[in-house]
Amino acid sequence: MKGTLRNTYDGCHVSVSTRPGGPGVLWVPVPEDNLGKTATHEVGHRFALFYVLDGFDYDGEGDLIDGTLVTKVATVGCPPSQHSCPDQPGLHPIHKYMDHAKHTCLSEFTPLQEEGMYRSSNTLWIGR
């Protein structure tokens, strides 16, 4: 509701260490984590997107969005391709903002992720 404490603090927190040119964070060395894409990833969560690796078995639902392949492990670095689910067709979505690849590798949301964010913005924050 408008005027409530919840509405006042409704948002997303991102460390200033991950801003473009920032020092990075302890668990990801610079320059892999200081291109500003952490904010893009975290805002994706704010708009109801899950990690592409949610569903830690090969039969999991992944990020619950059709068209994003099931991924068992997070992408490390920026490999040309990755495939951790041999029983599933296709390669990992290594360029998706909702993975944990190196920032130079992250470049896209899928069209269905974009649609999901649009829909969540029209339903989660009505009246704010």
Which residues make Cβ contacts (< 8 Å) with residue 29, sequence separation at least 6? none
Residues 6+ apart with CB under 8 A from 2: 127, 128
Known catalytic residue: 42?
Answer: yes
How is residue 16 annotated by DSSP? G
Tokens, residue 19: 């801003």
Question: Which one of the listed residues 32, 42, 61, 114 is annotated catalytic?
Answer: 42
Active site residues: 42
